[in-house]
Amino acid sequence: MTDGRRHWKGYAISFVFMGIMAGTTSGLAYLMGDVVNRIFVQQNSAAVWILSGAVLALSITKGFATYGQAVSLSRVGNRIVADNQKRVLNRLLTQDVAYFSGSHTAEIMLRFSNGAQAARNVLNLLITSIGRDFLSVVGLTAVMIAQDPFMALIGLLVMPIAVGGVRSLIRKVQKIFQREFHSAVQIMTESLEAFQGIRTVKSFTMEDNMRTKIYGRIDGLEKASNRMIRAQSQSGPLMEALGGVAVGLVIMYAGWGVLHGGRTPGEFFSVITALLLSYEPAKRLARLNIDITPQLLGARMLFEILDRKAVEVDPPGAADLKLAGGSVEFKDVHFGYREGEPVLRGLSFVAEGGRTTALVGPSGGGKSTVMSLLERFYELESGSICVDGQDITQVTYRSLRNAIGFVSQDVFLFSGTIRDNIATGRPGATDEEIIAAARAAHAHDFISGFADGYGSQVGEQGTQLSGGQRQRIAIARAFLKDAPILLLDEATAALDSESEAEVQRALRQLQMNRTTIVIAHRLQTVVNADRICVVDQGRVSESGRHDELIARRGRYFNFHQLQFAGQEQRLSA
């Protein structure tokens, strides 16, 4: 807990309220003895006033204590949820890209939201059980013992049986919970995919398939939830029966005592009241194990994230990257996303500062991987990557990533305004700077064409931008970021020639005076690049300027010929 002491203070307060609740409840049970004896047996008229006043006072105190404990417990509970969510968010943000590509968003989201609630529920259940229920049972037992120890013993005889009875249910509950969680993740995953891929779903008329599949999952979850309720409620009949046995035995013993053994009716009523009042808290205590099990499992889902090591943590004493021209060097880099499946096999190349280096080669050769590695989204197996002579593993993540701008084919827009989206390039940028960046990116005109201009909403609930427009937003971001190193994954599709020309113009401007590494799909880029690296099977098989490589008549030359033969201005694919 980030601030455990703060939580415990809150719990201590609700504990005090619970103590008052337990005390007043026991007091009320105790008074029942006097009510019966003084008012009904002794017919003492003064006692009517005193006892009714005392009952009233105790009830009012109990009412306030009930309110106080509910409010204080909820407050501390809500704080725990909030704290836990912040901690999980922090831990998630320090995970690397590999973690996110390896786990489904739906599962992370469920752990994030339900896990934090479950952790709160565990503490609440423990506190209310110990504070309210346990104290009540202790207080009421004390009343029973004070009135008649033997009668109390009869009443409490059933307790061990109740506790033993519920134990067997716990394993069942655990198993059902796992199934419930799994079904919930599947429902969330599949419906998220259906909504995110709604165009594909509709154009392939997959609605019926989707419906059937997700219906099946929902039905599965419903069944699991029903099974859970059945298992959890199995303790109900057991407890009712045992409670009945206890009350029955007390009536038999005490009734006989009142009739034949000189016991007062007051003692009898007081014990019965205490027994009936302790019934609910005792039931809850016996069920505690069952109720807490799913919550504990839910909390474990959360703690599995919290227990993960923060991956993206700077080594102690890591220095910030010192830029001097922004040259990039890959030296004999070996890397694979999975064990035994190498993607880069000894890749080396130099991207000189301020120059444009183009990566070309067949699809799947590892070009995008090169870019991910330079941003240090993944760790190398061997070899090194240096920026201006500094190994990227030795400098801070922040300074490395601040030095790199990125424009890719699929541009991610956050929900918010166009202004906000451009400003992600440099948080805190002024309106003038944002507009200047948009102008440089050839985006100002189309943005001004919207009714709300820079204030237009984009993202999931906003204006849908075209592919070319989205790209120009990304370019504006990169202009604003003004990083010395630029990674460019050239657009290959979905741009009409007009917006393509706009995007190209903007990109040319952006590339000026920056170290640019571009995944080139267009001949034009390659022809003008200062250096072309042919990435094939995880290595740079050839490099040089366009005319040098053509003259060499090797791999690049073949690509080039192919492209011309296909009349397609693309190199990869």
Ligand X SMILES: Nc1ncnc2c1ncn2[C@@H]1O[C@H](COP(=O)(O)OP(=O)(O)OP(=O)(O)O)[C@@H](O)[C@H]1O
CB of 305 to ligand X, least distance (A): 21
Where does this chain touch ligand X (CB under 6 A) — which range of 203-211, 246-254, 268-276, 357-365?
Answer: 357-365
The contact pattern for ligand X, residues 281-310, with x = CB under 6 A and - = no contact, is ------------------------------
**How many binding residues for ligand X (CB under 6 A)?**
11
If the CB atoms of residues 215 and 337 are measured against ligand X, the closer one turns out to be 337
Q: Does 364 bind ligand X (CB under 6 A)?
A: yes
168: which 2 tokens?
A: 């067997």
Q: Does 366 bind ligand X (CB under 6 A)?
A: yes
If the CB atoms of residues 367 and 470 are measured against ligand X, the closer one turns out to be 367
Q: Which residues contact 358 (CB under 8 A, 6 or more apart)?
A: 517, 518, 519, 520, 525, 526, 529, 531, 532, 533
Q: CA-CA distance, 210 to 174, in Å (whole number)? A: 30
* DSSP symbols for 437-506: HHHHTT-HHHHHHSTTGGG-EESTTSPPPPHHHHHHHHHHHHHHHT-SEEEEE---SS--HHHHHHHHHH
Q: Does 572 bind ligand X (CB under 6 A)?
A: yes
If the CB atoms of residues 40 and 337 are measured against ligand X, the closer one turns out to be 337
| Closest alpha carbon to 124 in 288, 297, 307, 286 | 288
Q: CA-CA distance, 469 to 458, in Å (whole number)? A: 11
If the CB atoms of residues 430 and 524 are measured against ligand X, the closer one turns out to be 524
Where does this chain touch ligand X (CB under 6 A) — which range of 105-113, 349-357, 360-368, 390-398?
Answer: 360-368
Q: Tell me how many degrees the CA angle 12-14-18 measures, rounded to the nearest 5.
A: 115
Pick one of 84, 369, 499, 525: the residue that binds ligand X (CB under 6 A). 369
Where does this chain touch ligand X (CB under 6 A) — which range of 54-62, 246-254, 361-369, 477-485?
Answer: 361-369
If the CB atoms of residues 287 and 539 are measured against ligand X, the closer one turns out to be 539
* DSSP symbols for 174-191: HHHHHHHHHHHHHHHHHH
If the CB atoms of residues 43 and 363 are measured against ligand X, the closer one turns out to be 363
Q: CA-CA distance, 125 to 284, in Å (whole number)? A: 10
Pick one of 284, 367, 426, 481: the residue that binds ligand X (CB under 6 A). 367
CB of 572 to ligand X, least distance (A): 4
Q: CA-CA distance, 87 to 304, in Å (whole number)? A: 12
Q: CA-CA distance, 32 to 274, in Å (whole number)? A: 9
If the CB atoms of residues 96 and 280 are measured against ligand X, the closer one turns out to be 96
CB of 570 to ligand X, least distance (A): 10
If the CB atoms of residues 101 and 509 are measured against ligand X, the closer one turns out to be 101
Where does this chain touch ligand X (CB under 6 A) — which range of 29-37, 241-249, 365-373, 445-453?
Answer: 365-373
Report the amino acid identity of residue 10: G
Q: Which residue has the tokens 């973690």?
A: 99
Q: Does 327 bind ligand X (CB under 6 A)?
A: no
The overall longest dimension of the chain from CA atoms, in Å, is 121
Length of the chain: 573
CB of 363 to ligand X, least distance (A): 3
- Is the distance from CB of 445 to CB of 468 less than 8 angstroms? no
Pick one of 74, 85, 191, 368: the residue that binds ligand X (CB under 6 A). 368
Q: Does 409 bind ligand X (CB under 6 A)?
A: no
If the CB atoms of residues 28 and 540 are measured against ligand X, the closer one turns out to be 540
Where does this chain touch ligand X (CB under 6 A) — which range of 22-30, 230-238, 364-372, 468-476?
Answer: 364-372
Q: Which residue has the tokens 């009949």?
A: 237
If the CB atoms of residues 64 and 337 are measured against ligand X, the closer one turns out to be 337
What SS3 state is found at 351?
Answer: strand
- Backbone CA torsion sign across 443, 512, 432, 471: positive
Q: What is the 3-state secondary structure (H, E, C) of 250-287?
A: HHHHHHHHHHHCCCCHHHHHHHHHHHHHHHHHHHHHHH
CB of 68 to ligand X, least distance (A): 53
Torsion of CA 69, 72, 77, 79, to 10 degrees: 180
CB of 93 to ligand X, least distance (A): 19
If the CB atoms of residues 366 and 467 are measured against ligand X, the closer one turns out to be 366
The contact pattern for ligand X, residues 86-115, with x = CB under 6 A and - = no contact, is ---------------x--------------
CB of 283 to ligand X, least distance (A): 52
Q: CA-CA distance, 2 to 79, in Å (whole number)? A: 11
If the CB atoms of residues 114 and 537 are measured against ligand X, the closer one turns out to be 537
Report the amino acid identity of residue 53: G
Q: Does 363 bind ligand X (CB under 6 A)?
A: yes
CB of 533 to ligand X, least distance (A): 12
Q: Does 337 bind ligand X (CB under 6 A)?
A: yes
If the CB atoms of residues 345 and 545 are measured against ligand X, the closer one turns out to be 345
Q: Does 516 bind ligand X (CB under 6 A)?
A: no
Q: Does 72 bind ligand X (CB under 6 A)?
A: no
What SS3 state is found at 541?
Answer: strand
Where does this chain touch ligand X (CB under 6 A) — which range of 367-375, 384-392, 448-456, 494-502?
Answer: 367-375
Q: CA-CA distance, 345 to 332, in Å (whole number)? A: 8
| Closest alpha carbon to 376 in 356, 358, 402 | 402
Residue numbers at the binding site for ligand X (CB under 6 A): 101, 337, 343, 363-369, 572
